[in-house]
Amino acid sequence: MSKTLEGHIAWVKSVFVKDNLIISVSWDTTIRIWDIASGICLKILTRHTGSVNSVFVKDNLIISGSHDESIRIWDINTGECLKILEGHKDSVNSVFVKDNLIISGSSDKTIRIWDIDTGLCLKKLVGHIDWVNSVFAKDNLIISGSGDKTIKIWDINSGSCLKTLEGHTDWINSVFVKDNLAISCSWYTIRIWDMYSGLCLKILKCHNSIESVFMKDNLIISGSWDKTISVTPVSLFPGELPVFQSVIDSYNLAPHLEREILDYSCKVKRVQITLV
């Protein structure tokens, strides 16, 4: 069974699944809340004045980052905008929530750490020399990917840069963390890194123009501007290659992924669900 959720009038930039809801954000400046079972749009949030690039949900809060240089915190039940976080000097490209902290990455080349309760900016991390396109947090670490072709690993408490991972030959669009692995995607390759040694363990060439990456078990799931999603099994034993590669044309929200896909980008004007 599949559903197509239509209503956005520009690219859907990011989606987040929370219980029985899909939250989608778009370059049409809106956030939409959808019921998965019925496919009905329950609410449209309209306060951003620029394209909405990233979304994260924590408890009953929606956190969104926008080209209008702001982060907004919304009540998922009422749709009310509770707070506006301002400080970035360019587009907010990525938001992530860790405990009571919001981590944001921006085209102003900085990462900011915010208190989710007060809305205060606690730290500004400076080190990238191009846009920060993606941020992820795990334990006491922040992982960021940038247009400067590097991934940086930061201490969330001190704000210091602990490590810079180099190897990509084009800007980095998305980063994801699983266990001790950092997964990054650039336009042409996906790299799997050991976060603590900084070693690149694997390089995958799944498709071109790779925009977003996610890892579930031993599957690398990547989305591309070529309108496909690639699902690639990987083994981290030296010398072993992926057994197979499956390319699908729809955004697969299988039940075992519903609660775990955090920040997946789709360059389309609709959200499509395929339940298997």
Q: Tell me how many domains the chain contains.
A: 1
Each residue's pLDDT tens digit, 246-269: 333 333 333 323 333 333 333 444
Long-range Cβ pairs for the range 115-122 (8 Å, 24+): 116/58, 116/61, 116/63, 116/73, 119/73, 119/83, 119/84, 119/85, 121/85, 121/87
**How many Cβ atoms are within 10 Å of 38's Cβ, its own excluded?**
11
User: Which tokens is 148 given?
Assistant: 């400067």
Tokens coding 253? 């929200």
The tens digit of pLDDT for each residue in 22-68 reads: 999 999 999 999 999 999 999 999 999 999 999 999 999 999 999 99
Average pLDDT over residues 213-221: 90
CA-based end-to-end distance of the chain: 7
* Distance (Å) of CA 276 to CA 17, 113, 121, 151, 218: 16, 38, 42, 35, 19
Instruction: State how far the Cα of 138 lies from the Cα of 205, in Å rounded to an integer.
Output: 26
Owning domain of residue 187: 2-274
Q: For residues 52 and 13, what is the distance between their CA atoms, to the nearest angstrom?
A: 7
Asked if 153 contacts 165 with a C-beta cutoff of 8 angstroms, the reply is yes
**Tens-place pLDDT, residues 131-167:** 999 999 999 999 999 999 999 999 999 999 999 999 9
CATH code assigned at 135:
2.130.10.10
More reliable by pLDDT, 246 or 118: 118
